[in-house]
Amino acid sequence: MRHDEFRKRLDRLHEVLVRGLHYYTVWKDLLLYDPSKVSWSLQEQNKVLGRFLGFFTPVALALHDMALMEFAKLFDAKRKTASLANLLSAAEQDPRLIPRASAGDVAKVSAHLQENQPMLKRLKRLRNQQLAHVYLQPVSVGPIRNTDLDKLADDAKSAFNLLSTAHDGRFFSWEHSLETADRDTTEILRLLVEEMKRRQNQYDEEMVRIGLEAARNEETAIGRRLTSGELQAIRQSYGLTDEQMQLVEQQYGASSPGPG
């Protein structure tokens, strides 16, 4: 392989890796709740995802499938592909492609990537049977855990940067672009959570107003303050929640239950 061809394949591989990492990052932010990085609860996040189910379900499925497809491309053994596996093999066979490192360095990275083989076999089978094709009788793939994908992504980034720096000194920092995807996805969720809270508060205020107005109208009609039991009847009539009813009672100032 010529020097310029090696660089060209590295650049193509970089595009594949970046896409896969972006898809995976956004997918994790949408579906995997991380209390260490957000200010809302899991219940609030699930409420947002459930409210916009028609959007988030296909988006999450597409992001997950495309991330797996891009990761699978990194280890495609077909000769003409710009895969990580092929470039590592070419670098080991021709040290002139990696003047800033030794074939031994590449061999160590290749050996480290081999630790992902069980998961890569499942990934390849999933890609062949469900993502790229639709088998009538697919063989069971087994689970692909997020921890396995996290490790594969980290190992792929390290292997790529070794090849790139060893070839012509170019080092790629993944953090900035991935942080942007992570930050923007989290911000979208934050805005949606806040909007859901605003709407809920607005709805609660309206229901409290309706319940309080009903209590006062009833008081006027019977000519006395309502008992707690009579307020509870209003609650049932209007379907007020516990929280809404507490506010109604606080603002109305319920008396003790009367006789009968």
Q: Which residues are registered as beta bridge partners of 255?
A: 227
- pLDDT average per 10 residues of sequence, the chain (260 residues): 89 94 95 92 95 95 92 86 89 90 85 86 81 66 82 92 92 88 96 96 96 95 92 95 94 59
Structure-token pair, residue 125: 């089978």
User: Which pLDDT belongs to residue 137?
Assistant: 66
Dump strand ranges (E) for 156-237: none
Environment class of 26 (CB within 10 Å of its CB; exposed 0-12, middle 13-18, buried 19+): buried
User: Which pLDDT belongs to residue 254?
Assistant: 52
Query: Nearest Cα to 37, choosing from 176, 187, 196?
Result: 187
Amino acid identity, position 128: N
Residues 6+ apart with CB under 8 A from 13: 74, 82, 83, 84, 87, 160
Question: In angstroms, rounded to a whole number, what is the distance separating the alpha carbons of residues 123 and 141?
Answer: 8
User: Which pLDDT belongs to residue 128?
Assistant: 77
User: Which pLDDT belongs to residue 257?
Assistant: 47
What's the farthest any 2 CA atoms get from each other in the chain? 99
Structural domain spans, the chain:
3-172, 196-252
